[in-house]
Amino acid sequence: MGWLGLDDTDHLGGGCTTHTLWRLLASLPSSVQVGELRLVRLWPLAPGRTRGNAAVAVELNPTDRDALMAHLDCYWSAHLEPLSGLVESSHHSDRVQHPTDPGMVWFDQPPSSALYWRAVRQHVHADELPVADRSWGGLGRVGATAAIAWPATTVTYEAIAWRMEGQTGPRGVDGEALAEVDGMEGTFLTRDPRRGAALLAPRGPSPVLFGVRAHDEGTAADAARVLLEAAGTEAASGWRVFATNQASGDHLGEDASALVEAVEVDPVRKHAIVQTDDGPWLAYVESGDVNRLARWLRAGDRIDGRGLMDETGRRHLEALRLVQHVPRQHQRPLCGACNVRLKSMGRSQGLRCPQCKERTSDRWEEVNIPPPFDGWVEPPDGARRHLAQPLAWEGRNDGEEHQKV
């Protein structure tokens, strides 16, 4: 019994690494029993990785461990080592290009979960890794080891199906089956309710046909069968259910609290940088309500936020809440006798009632403009990180619809 981990075989996100693992499993001698498959998302801000930074692992029970190691040696040299040095497709061309550096590890006993907790929240160097019983390759060993070290404290499942070899272009996933899966008790993030778009089929060049997420393994498998057996779904080359840390919230620690010092908004793209006493908090326009609330903030407001800190000390917001806000606007008071708004007579000239002409000293009163949201807000379904736990799961938004202005 032992665990095999694999990472960084490509730059197109988790989908391809799952495919690489699936092909490796297909190559194994039939005497090797295959246990749990894992898809483990790691620190999403890792340099050179896609937003979905993912590694895979599988529990294997060989009758002959030495024969399995010999097989893995051959498989590594023939199929995985040649994947080294690939650069990202033009799909992600706005990112810095980091050539692939695949890694594979074997542990007879899983390493301490401490490595997982570091790797999901920050950068981990290859020289910090616990020593594997066998290891192959380069930097991919970090994610591969972390995937095995995952303690699975919060688990969801994803059934992933792969396209036939060489299949490209738009993916054929049956619309009625998709609606059925969307309505199944226990599935989640199958469809973006705002745009009506399916979230389970990836875009761009990937061998993944679809990935359907669920709270339990059985539901994930049932949902995959519904999709695969439907007439409008293209033929798949295979499918598997993975245990995952998706929607676990494992990447985030305690909520941060801060005082707003200034808000800078990109005039074109509407991205917001909230300068705070905790450093800059970023809310990209894709973050929807988080961005809307961020743009509403003013110096002096108190806010709570959740999000990873990048290596330059900027927090990338995944949830935001207004705790207390300064008054938004001032106006002249009303005349006590006439109930008419007083008017300024000019700089240092005091105020005068336009009706009774009574003069008073120059002053302002505060206008209470309600904030656009009450309580926590999060990005829309399609824009959240794979690791992000929906607010509704935590009971943090009390299940109420957010009030919008």
Binding site for Zn ion (CB under 5 A): 335, 337-338, 353, 355-356
Nearer to Zn ion, 67 or 356 (CB): 356
Task: Tell me the C-alpha distance between 145 and 111, whole Å.
Answer: 8
For 11-82, where are the E strands, in sequence order?
33-41, 54-61
For 32-149, where are the E strands, in sequence order?
33-41, 54-61, 103-107, 134-137
Contact 368, 336 (CB under 8 A): no
Nearer to Zn ion, 235 or 345 (CB): 345
Beta bridge pairs of residue 319: 306
In terms of C-beta density within 10 A (0-12 exposed, 13-18 middle, 19 or more buried), how is residue 99 classed?
middle
Report, in Å, the least distance between residue 253 CB and Zn ion: 57
Report, in Å, the least distance between residue 342 CB and Zn ion: 8
Nearer to Zn ion, 333 or 370 (CB): 333
In sign, the C-alpha dihedral spanning 106, 112, 115, 117 is positive
Nearer to Zn ion, 21 or 335 (CB): 335
Write out the H or E segment, with its range, that includes residue 151: none
User: Within a 10 A sphere around the Cβ of 208, how many other Cβ atoms?
Assistant: 22
Nearer to Zn ion, 175 or 336 (CB): 336
The single residue listed with the structure tokens 């010092």 is: 261
Nearer to Zn ion, 149 or 335 (CB): 335
Report, in Å, the least distance between residue 356 CB and Zn ion: 3
Report, in Å, the least distance between residue 329 CB and Zn ion: 23
Report, in Å, the least distance between residue 364 CB and Zn ion: 18
Nearer to Zn ion, 221 or 338 (CB): 338
Residue 285 has what DSSP assignment?
Answer: G
For 192-313, where are the E strands, in sequence order?
208-214, 236-244, 256-265, 272-276, 279-283, 302-309
The residue among 42, 146, 167, 47 whose CA lies nearest residue 96 is 47
Nearer to Zn ion, 93 or 339 (CB): 339
Report, in Å, the least distance between residue 327 CB and Zn ion: 25
Report, in Å, the least distance between residue 347 CB and Zn ion: 22
Task: Tell me the C-alpha distance between 365 and 215, whole Å.
Answer: 52
Phi and psi at 27, nearest 5°, equal -85, -15
Report, in Å, the least distance between residue 346 CB and Zn ion: 19
